[in-house]
Chains A and B, each alone.
Chain A
Amino acid sequence: MKKFWALFFFFWPTVAIISCVIAPSRGWWFPSPPMSRTGVQIDGLFYLILIIVTITFVATQYVLAYALWKGATKESGSKALFSHGSHKLEIIWTIVPSFILVFISLSQLDVLAEIRVISKFPEKATKVAEVTARQFEWRIRYPKPGTELTTVENPGDLYYVNELHVPTGKPVIINLRTQDVQHAFFSPQLRVKQDAVPGLVIPIWFDVREVGNYDLVCAELCGWGHYKMKARIVAQSQSSVDKYLKQLEADQNADGTKSEAAASGDE
């Protein structure tokens, strides 16, 4: 029975590792490859940590299991090793992990600065829209075509709900805010997440590498309808975005009557 329990502690980390190895093929992994530049960097750092952590996991779990196995196979009644510890070992296992941890920590700083520090935002990044979260939808405000996005609303701004159109291949800035409680702007495929904090306007930037539709969901509890703040980010070429905004402007300014040009054509 002793050996059974020692094997038990060999068994479960093995199952855990196997389930992680087969996970990507079963769809239990990232929803898609990273679709933004910072997403690629984030995934890179994730895999770096994953390698370090996996080695540590395997080593410590199997050493633990082996220590149990040694105890299980020991002749019953034989004396336990008498030791209060080892100064040398303590020093080794203090210094080695601290170097690894400092290394992990330092390896994150550049990417963190790139994502979050406003002075490090890409110079060419353009402010494309303001996204205002509210219970339980995302309100999008684009500046009037040909003008700059400002934090206050201007006449001629274009509005839409739960669909954000952005150009691909270039960095874009979104001004994130909330009308009511706290929400969080989360796009799993783009690896973008930022809380929308009441009273603050928070700029976030990302670039989308490929044309496509990406999920936009809420990642901060905002009430009973938290789960249904479903929206999408439509990434398309600049010309398609321009076309979309032109159509949006036309729709928004339509007053239900025929336009002047069409009316004059009838005469």
Chain B
Amino acid sequence: MATVSPALDAHGHADDHSHGGHHEQSFISKYVFSLDHKIIGIQFLITTLIMLMVGGALALAVRWQLAFPWENMPVVGQLFGLFRTEGGQISPEFYTMLFTMHASVMIFLVIIPILAGAFGNFLIPLQIGTDDMAFPALNMMSYWFMWPAIACFACSFFVAGGTAGPGNGWTSYPLLSDLPQAAPSSGSPQTFWLIGLTLVGVSSMMGSVNYLTTIINMRAPGMTLFRMPLTIWSMFITAILQAFALPVLTAAGFMLVFDRLGTIFPTDIHSVFFIPANIIVNNAAPTVGGGQPLLWQHLFWFYSHPAVYIMLLPAMGMVSDMLACMSRKPVFGYKPMVYSMAAIAGLGFIVWGHHMFTSGMNPALGMTFMTSTMMIALPSAIKVFNWIGTIWGGDLKFNGVMLNCSGFVAMFIVGGLSGIFMAAVPVDIYFHDTYFIVAHFHYVLFGSTLFGVFAAIQFWFPKMFGREMNDTVQRWHFALSFIGFNCTFFPMHLLGIAGMPRRYADPYLHGYLEHLLPMNRFITISAILMGFAQFLLLGNFFYSMFRGKKVGRNPWNANGLEWTAPSPPGHGNFDIAPVVYRGPYEYSSPEAEAIGQDFILQTVPHVKGVAKITHH
């Protein structure tokens, strides 16, 4: 992989300041503790794909309990010591752990690192035309900090004897998460969970510092801000969100750890940030304190609402790139796309209160947060219209990339529209913490982000490995995932309207929910279909890595700088240092036609004899 043409040493490394000379690397420094952004990106990608399957398995266990309450889990029920104590049955404590860890794994170990970690790392230097990240060592550490985090999450399953992992929800509201007596899971499992969360935060922070510096300082000559692909814009805006929101979560996490100092050291000394006085949990002595549990909710959502956009914006950017390429058309309204992403990020900081409409927060605040939340739907709507505008009149290529991107747009519409119900406070009073919200955020995080990621994996796979994925398998994977996804999550809207609360181990205990069992069985069967469809993706991914058809530099006839580099690019990326002359979306332009193509690389200078094209 590191064997590159001599030209690279002459050009690519002429002004090399970020890493040392070009020496033969050992396997360890080349593939394990690698400083190369591409290897780190691929490491993130493979790690997160494996974690995706772990998180999916946890979800299927949740679904098993909801479809067949208290019945023994088939196969896996007997496999692990975890279940054997209950004879293969899911206990209520175990159920709380399942949904907590499903969310934690999916959010912190899959969605955030697969977007920023995998694609951010891989694409940023390639798309802006530089040889690596600004801080390669920091970049390597951002990957390796994931592993202690994964280890902490894994430990949290077992520290309490495997009977109770962290079971306080991924939101970890105090006092349940604060007082160790409150639940079996609130002791050491919760502590491990918090430490794991902090480590993920450290990893993300190192990444975002790197992305910001790289994008600001290391763009190729001619790569002005408004010539950057929307992927880069989205990574840039995401990095800003991370950099400003994450410290708040880290601080809140430490406050919670200090409240819980007694679970780490044998001491009675601890803080009371979130603990009010006179709370009696499980017949323990009344608490002494003057804290406020709502403070956690404010701090947590001050991070976690922007985090929703951290989990979405990069996918939006990548989908814009891919839709343009597969439609052979420029992105419709490039600048409105940039401004609307910036607006989403800006508004994203002032909408956190919409998670707290039933929390007893001052109603005047509720009105403010409702209005800002409604307004954030506006840039989202603008983006949807622009994506449809991009497809409109295009010379469409109906491959796996295009289908997954169209799926992204279709699912994002559903997720966006269902959000309006919950932005409206009175309606949210009914829907808060019901399955309606479960449906909503899965449409955004899975329906949008993951379908975008499925497309991105196939689209940039040739650049990663010099081979392409099998498109027929990818289309089957899309069809099965899409059908499974909609059959799983669309009916959850109806469960929510029927008033089924989230996080219930056995909803059918309540008479008004009894008749929903058949629908829950249908959902579970669909979820199993969707889960197993992911093996098509994984199989295709690993098979194509070694056996896929070899392709050249630019298999999609795309315009971006990454397609001027070899596939896969060597250490240092470009054999000819790129100079940028135009925006990334000049598909089917008169200039492209003049040279007999329907695309024109960003590195191609102005074509003589064709009127120069200016944006707007």
Question: A28 — which chain B residues lie within 8 A by C-beta?
Answer: 491, 494-495, 497-498, 516, 519
- In this assembly, does B544 line the interface, its C-beta being within 8 Å of a C-beta of chain A? no
- In this assembly, does B433 line the interface, its C-beta being within 8 Å of a C-beta of chain A? yes
Q: Could you mark each residue 29-66 of chain A with 1 if its beta carbon is under 8 Å from any beta carbon of chain B, else 0?
A: 11110000010011001100110110011001101100
- Decide if A5 touches B398 in the complex (CB within 8 Å): yes
- Decide if A199 touches B293 in the complex (CB within 8 Å): yes
The residue in chain B whose Cβ has the minimal distance to the Cβ of A52 is B420
- In this assembly, does B12 line the interface, its C-beta being within 8 Å of a C-beta of chain A? no
| B188 CB, nearest partner CB in chain A, Å | 17
Question: B53 — which chain A residues lie within 8 A by C-beta?
Answer: none
Using a CB-CB cutoff of 8 Å, which residues 434-493 of chain B contact chain A? 434, 479, 482, 486, 490-491, 493
Partner of B279, one of A64, A84, A101, A199: A199
- In this assembly, does A246 line the interface, its C-beta being within 8 Å of a C-beta of chain B? no
- Decide if A182 touches B173 in the complex (CB within 8 Å): yes
Chain B interface: which of A67-75, A157-165, A247-255? A67-75
- Decide if B359 touches A197 in the complex (CB within 8 Å): yes
- Decide if B486 touches A16 in the complex (CB within 8 Å): yes
- Decide if B424 touches A45 in the complex (CB within 8 Å): yes
CA distance A218 to B502 in the complex (A): 10
Partner of A108, one of B275, B386, B426, B511: B426
Chain A interface: which of B147-155, B177-185, B233-241, B260-268? B177-185
Question: A116 — which chain B residues lie within 8 A by C-beta?
Answer: 363, 366, 425
Question: B424 — which chain A residues lie within 8 A by C-beta?
Answer: 45, 49, 104-105, 108
Using a CB-CB cutoff of 8 Å, which residues 393-436 of chain B contact chain A? 393-396, 398, 403, 406, 409-410, 413-414, 417-418, 420-421, 423-427, 429-430, 432-434
Partner of B503, one of A56, A61, A71, A221: A221
- Decide if B430 touches A93 in the complex (CB within 8 Å): no
CA distance A83 to B482 in the complex (A): 30
CA distance A145 to B593 in the complex (A): 89
The residue in chain B whose Cβ has the minimal distance to the Cβ of A27 is B515
- In this assembly, does A212 line the interface, its C-beta being within 8 Å of a C-beta of chain B? no
- In this assembly, does B384 line the interface, its C-beta being within 8 Å of a C-beta of chain A? yes
Q: Could you mark each residue 574-601 of chain B with 1 if its beta carbon is under 8 Å from any beta carbon of chain A, else 0?
A: 0000000000010111100100001000
- Decide if A227 touches B176 in the complex (CB within 8 Å): no
- Decide if A2 touches B503 in the complex (CB within 8 Å): no
- Decide if A57 touches B360 in the complex (CB within 8 Å): no
| B338 CB, nearest partner CB in chain A, Å | 12
- In this assembly, does A123 line the interface, its C-beta being within 8 Å of a C-beta of chain B? no
- In this assembly, does B159 line the interface, its C-beta being within 8 Å of a C-beta of chain A? no
Question: B479 — which chain A residues lie within 8 A by C-beta?
Answer: 8
| B514 CB, nearest partner CB in chain A, Å | 10
- In this assembly, does B49 line the interface, its C-beta being within 8 Å of a C-beta of chain A? no
- In this assembly, does A80 line the interface, its C-beta being within 8 Å of a C-beta of chain B? yes
CA distance A52 to B420 in the complex (A): 10
- In this assembly, does A125 line the interface, its C-beta being within 8 Å of a C-beta of chain B? no
Chain B interface: which of A166-174, A188-196, A235-243? A188-196
- Decide if A80 touches B328 in the complex (CB within 8 Å): yes
- Decide if B388 touches A79 in the complex (CB within 8 Å): no
| A197 CB, nearest partner CB in chain B, Å | 5
- In this assembly, does B5 line the interface, its C-beta being within 8 Å of a C-beta of chain A? no
Q: Could you mark each residue 94-108 of chain A with 1 if its beta carbon is under 8 Å from any beta carbon of chain B, else 0?
A: 100110011011001
- In this assembly, does B358 line the interface, its C-beta being within 8 Å of a C-beta of chain A? yes
Question: A200 — which chain B residues lie within 8 A by C-beta?
Answer: 360
Chain A interface: which of B375-383, B527-535, B546-554? B375-383
Question: A12 — which chain B residues lie within 8 A by C-beta?
Answer: 410, 482, 486
| B582 CB, nearest partner CB in chain A, Å | 12
Q: Which of A41, A70, A198, A224 has most chain B Cβ within 10 Å?
A: A198
Question: B333 — which chain A residues lie within 8 A by C-beta?
Answer: 84-86, 89-90
Given contacts A97-B381, A199-B277, A84 and B375 within 8 Å (CB-CB): no
- Decide if B396 touches A68 in the complex (CB within 8 Å): yes
| B23 CB, nearest partner CB in chain A, Å | 46
- Decide if B358 touches A23 in the complex (CB within 8 Å): no
Using a CB-CB cutoff of 8 Å, which residues 86-134 of chain B contact chain A? 91-93, 95-96
Q: Could you mark each residue 184-216 of chain A with 1 if its beta carbon is under 8 Å from any beta carbon of chain B, else 0?
A: 101011011111011110100000000000010
CA distance A188 to B359 in the complex (A): 17
- Decide if B497 touches A29 in the complex (CB within 8 Å): yes
| B496 CB, nearest partner CB in chain A, Å | 10
CA distance A186 to B494 in the complex (A): 18
- In this assembly, does A137 line the interface, its C-beta being within 8 Å of a C-beta of chain B? no
The residue in chain A whose Cβ has the minimal distance to the Cβ of B372 is A105
CA distance A83 to B395 in the complex (A): 13
Question: B590 — which chain A residues lie within 8 A by C-beta?
Answer: 82
- Decide if A80 touches B395 in the complex (CB within 8 Å): yes
- In this assembly, does B247 line the interface, its C-beta being within 8 Å of a C-beta of chain A? no
- Decide if A224 touches B96 in the complex (CB within 8 Å): yes
Partner of B395, one of A56, A68, A74, A86: A74
Q: Could you mark each residue 156-178 of chain B with 1 if its beta carbon is under 8 Å from any beta carbon of chain A, else 0?
A: 00000000100111000111100
Using a CB-CB cutoff of 8 Å, which residues 100-147 of chain A contact chain B? 101-102, 104-105, 108-109, 111-113, 115-117, 135
Question: A135 — which chain B residues lie within 8 A by C-beta?
Answer: 182, 281-282
CA distance A89 to B275 in the complex (A): 53
| A175 CB, nearest partner CB in chain B, Å | 12
- Decide if B506 touches A228 in the complex (CB within 8 Å): yes
Partner of A9, one of B406, B417, B589: B406
- Decide if B501 touches A101 in the complex (CB within 8 Å): no
- In this assembly, does B138 line the interface, its C-beta being within 8 Å of a C-beta of chain A? no
Question: B504 — which chain A residues lie within 8 A by C-beta?
Answer: 226-227
CA distance A37 to B516 in the complex (A): 27
Q: Could you mark each residue 268-304 of chain B with 1 if its beta carbon is under 8 Å from any beta carbon of chain A, else 0?
A: 0000000111011110000000011110000000000
Question: B395 — which chain A residues lie within 8 A by C-beta?
Answer: 71, 74, 77-80
- In this assembly, does A156 line the interface, its C-beta being within 8 Å of a C-beta of chain B? no
- In this assembly, does B499 line the interface, its C-beta being within 8 Å of a C-beta of chain A? yes
Partner of A181, one of B176, B371, B375, B498: B176
Question: B371 — which chain A residues lie within 8 A by C-beta?
Answer: 102, 105
CA distance A199 to B427 in the complex (A): 27
The residue in chain B whose Cβ has the minimal distance to the Cβ of A84 is B330
Given contacts A64-B391, A227-B505, A82 and B433 within 8 Å (CB-CB): no
CA distance A72 to B396 in the complex (A): 7
- Decide if A104 touches B501 in the complex (CB within 8 Å): no
CA distance A89 to B377 in the complex (A): 18
Partner of B426, one of A93, A101, A111, A230: A111
Partner of B434, one of A113, A194, A219: A219
CA distance A218 to B293 in the complex (A): 18
Question: A72 — which chain B residues lie within 8 A by C-beta?
Answer: 396, 398
- In this assembly, does A81 line the interface, its C-beta being within 8 Å of a C-beta of chain B? yes
15 contacts between A and B (CB under 8 A): A9-B410, A19-B494, A50-B421, A80-B587, A81-B393, A84-B585, A85-B330, A90-B386, A102-B371, A181-B175, A194-B360, A221-B96, A224-B167, A224-B183, A224-B505
Closest 3 CB pairs of A and B: A199-B276, A71-B396, A81-B393
Q: Given known contacts A19-B494, A27-B515, A192-B429, what 6 new A-B pairs fall within 8 Å (CB)? A: A27-B498, A67-B391, A84-B585, A89-B385, A105-B370, A135-B281
Chain A residues in the interface with B (C-beta under 8 A): 1-2, 5, 8-9, 12-13, 16, 19-20, 23, 27-32, 38, 41-42, 45-46, 49-50, 52-53, 56-57, 60-61, 63-64, 67-68, 70-72, 74, 77-87, 89-90, 93-94, 97-98, 101-102, 104-105, 108-109, 111-113, 115-117, 135, 179-182, 184, 186, 188-189, 191-195, 197-200, 202, 215, 217-228, 230
Chain B residues in the interface with A (C-beta under 8 A): 91-93, 95-96, 164, 167-169, 173-176, 179, 182-185, 275-277, 279-282, 291-294, 327-334, 336, 358-360, 363-364, 366-367, 370-371, 374-375, 377-378, 381-382, 384-386, 388-389, 391-396, 398, 403, 406, 409-410, 413-414, 417-418, 420-421, 423-427, 429-430, 432-434, 479, 482, 486, 490-491, 493-495, 497-499, 501-507, 509-512, 515-516, 519, 585, 587-590, 593, 598, 615-616
